[in-house]
Structure 1
């Protein structure tokens, strides 16, 4: 009997109910996020696509470009219609229906890009219009069918309804079991979770003591802080990825279009454009690889392919590849190899990725001086050190540079680019090899990255 009155038994029931309540709140939160953020994202993307088409047509308003715009929107979800100044259809990616034509009447005489309809739950399309040269040449209309959104909302509402029924039944049973003493702190926790569901993640719960209830209150507060942190980093990450992809894709599209159309005859200028395309393609590839590596790490699919590696040659290869970049900034790279370094058992591709990333970061955050790379060892460990004389990392930020999406100082991140995944992937690769990595830094003087492997793990 005493066991059934104990806090552990009550908290077992309590935790189950809170978990289900959180599921319900999460369902409503997801619905709100979907109906607002996702629809806003679709609308802005649609508006951007229309603006891009309009810019292309401003430069070349001819039958070939019109056909190209229509072909780009065929066999995809979105539709495009281009009209002249009087509203007559010049080209369309798919046949227009009655509702689509109604938007064309609304879009005439508009001078700036705008959304014609975002009321997705009542009409068949989300529609935008983008004038071509202020409407003097015509208009680009973009349409996104709302049937897909409506299907997703139906499934989401069904899930929320079923979850609500289950939670109500459990709540009735919990009211009978829980005592008044437990009700007060639990109600405080419930209010806190309600506020968290509304987006106010940081909550303060005044539950005194050291028992399980107090620990639970602390856990809820920590959960709110973590949710706030991941919400912030998620938003920063999405904005960063959008920015990082948009810039190189713009270059790739622009310069490749110029080359395809044969406007550039001078071979030297062609080589310049091809070099830009190549560099921007590498930039996109680097970003995608980081995202792919993060995904594999999170799903446990990240595997090493170890073999015997001459680490000195591997480091020399990386330095040789990055030397032009360093010299372009007036930097020098010095390499001090370990004379009697044994052949190591590592994944050569992944270790090259690690060393490349660390040296590239050293170059990125240095404006003068030199970058020193050294291989050292003792009886127990093998060390890889990368030292720069750059801007350094503030002491309060140093412990967080290994976190996913984390970037030191947002202004600095905007200047140098990146998504905050590089060092996260580096640390995971080193740890999968059984090693450790740490950073030492003095703001304004430089940073030293130290990778440490136990000899018994890498020397066979």
Structure 2
């Protein structure tokens, strides 16, 4: 597509090479000759091949001639000289006489308005020769000789392949055609200040030597080959292209300042709201150095996390108080235990010394020959034997309580007739009961009740409890019962009061031992099952004992899946001890069948 901007016209006589008519100020557009076209033509030829096209390179541009406006229109650019033959009719032939030439400028316009993407137009031919440029020094040069040549070559290749795109290049223009070149010092100062201000404020979007290039290929008016195209570039500084973002940037900066100011104000208020509850929590934490302080943890804090912190702090203080109370109780218990051990050592020393003295005294009398008869000698030997047996019992009790505490005591469970075992134990103490003139009331059913227990250990429990009942009862009676318990219903085997429910529920047997002895105060009852504990010595020390019997009994009963409990209404009100064991399952079913059959026969 040929340019349409005609600068001047020239008509030349080809035979004389003289200018017949010229509007180009005596400047020759080109030098046409007769050899360029056929000398004769029979008819008018309208083919493009008759047009001779050549480049007319412009004079060097003077930068001082540019306007100071942002938009600069350049009238003087690379021109094209177009020449066509003029034939004169002579008879039937048309003879070549003249050449009509015109000079047509490329319509080059440089738009340096900020925000415009048009920028400056640059035309490059297929060889890389710059045909038009806002920098007149580069017109006619090759892109290989300038900066950023590789990037420009890549643009030309892409354009020749038919691509239309944009690219980023560096240092294409060597002068700024929008620069004010006037001699006005004030204007120059303003321009310099405008140039420096963006850098001071951080508003400069890019460097001065960076450009945005849009490119497209167009047909060359000079070359006949379609592959030899011109590349038209629209070059604008990136700072100009992105100047539209400057307002956005200013708005963002204003917003940032507003946000910073709002953040500062919000921080001041939030800091106050955050500091106040923290100060309250701090004061509370400092005040609770004394766990008995009446201060309460602050509540109703607007911030949920601080409320949670207050609750956690209160919970921690509560746990500390509880642990402190537990430590205090434990400390008192340790002191009591230490005192009890001291008393126990004193008592056990007396208990050990008494049989030892008896053994030593009896043997010494025999050894010294103070026995007059054989019978007297045998009596002393019997006393020594009894003292040795008593001493062995004390030592066994000490060993048993140690094994129970360390869980190393061995038991051997088997079927035991609890009624028979209880009767055997009572027989061992009949002589002691008769000596103290105590009344013994027994209620042992004839029916066999089988429990799963260690016979020797269960007998030891009976001996400890019955022995205590006899020892602490000066007058009155001792009552011993065996009662079957079915869940919450007690069934005495010597009555007809049967439970309504048997089913598969566990059945137990209760051995109840009651005495009318010295009794125990309620505050002392919980201590009796602890090792080394004895009731106040003013009343019980005269009865002797080592204080291990009930502690051993409780340990043995727990090992046999049973239990033992003690109750007394007070001093001189007697004592009741309950020993409970589970009845063996098969025996429980057998008993139920027998009882039901008895009921049926009576009906």
Instruction: Answer yes or no: is the 8 Å Cα contact 1:207–1:217 preserved in 2.
Output: no
Residue 542 of structure 2 corresponds to which residue in structure 1?
415
Counterpart position of 1:434: 561
SS in 2 for 1:211: helix
Deviation, structure 1 residue 180? 11
SS in 2 for 1:378: strand
Decide which structure has greater helix share.
1
Counterpart secondary structure, 2:524: helix
SS at match of 2:568: strand
User: Distance between the aligned counterparts of 1:184 and 1:282, measured in 2?
Assistant: 64
Deviation per residue, 1:369-393 (Å, 9 max, x gap): 2212221113322111111111111
The structure with more radius of gyration: 2
Deviations 1:399-442 (A, max 9, x none): 22111111111222321112211000111111111112112223
1:450 corresponds, among 578, 582, 592, to 578
Verify: 1:308 aligned to 2:308, yes or no: no
Shift in CA distance, 181/216, structure 1 to aligned 2, threshold 3 Å = farther
The answer for the alignment partner of 2:163 in structure 1 is none
- Residue 272 of structure 1 is matched in structure 2 by 379
Map of 2:368 onto structure 1: 261
**Offset of 1:284 from its aligned partner?**
1.0
Deviation of the 1:340 alpha carbon: 2.2
Query: Please, which of 422, 435, 447 is the counterpart of residue 340 of structure 1?
Result: 447
When the two structures are superposed, what TM-score results if normalisation uses the length of structure 2? 0.41
**TM-score, structure 1 normalization:** 0.53
| Unmatched segments (≥5 aa) in structure 1 | 1-178, 189-204
3-state SS in 2 of match to 1:350: helix
- From the superposition, tell whether residues 445 and 183 of structure 1 become closer, same or farther in structure 2 (CA, over 3 Å): same
The size of the alignment, in residue pairs, is: 265
Mapped partners of 2:556, 2:586: distance in 1? 14
Deviation at 1:458, TM superposition (A): 9.5
Segments of 4+ in structure 1 off by > 6 A?
Answer: 179-186
Q: Which has the higher strand share?
A: 2
Q: Which has the higher relative contact order, 1 or 2, with Cα contacts under 8 A spaced 6 or more apart?
A: 1
Matches within 5 A, 1:129-208: 206=292
Q: Which residue of 1 aligns with 2:11?
A: none
How many angstroms apart in 2 are the aligned matches of 1:409 and 1:458? 46
Cα contact 2:449–2:583 (8 A) shared by 1: no
Equivalent residues of 1:207, 1:214 under 8 A apart: no
Task: Provide, for residues 122-141 of structure 1, a one-character-per-residue CA deviation record: whole Å limited to 9, x for no partner.
Answer: xxxxxxxxxxxxxxxxxxxx
* CA–CA separation in structure 2 for the residues paired with 1:249 and 1:236: 20
Deviations 1:150-194 (A, max 9, x none): xxxxxxxxxxxxxxxxxxxxxxxxxxxxx99879977x8xxxxxx
Find the counterpart in structure 1 of residue 476 from structure 2.
369
Is 2:355 the partner of 1:245? no
Distance 1:375-1:351 versus aligned 2 partners, 3 A rule: same
Gaps of 5+ in 2: 1-281, 295-313, 487-506, 589-603
Tell me, yes or no, if structure 1 residue 217 matches structure 2 residue 324: yes
| Residue of structure 1 in register with 2:519 after alignment | 392
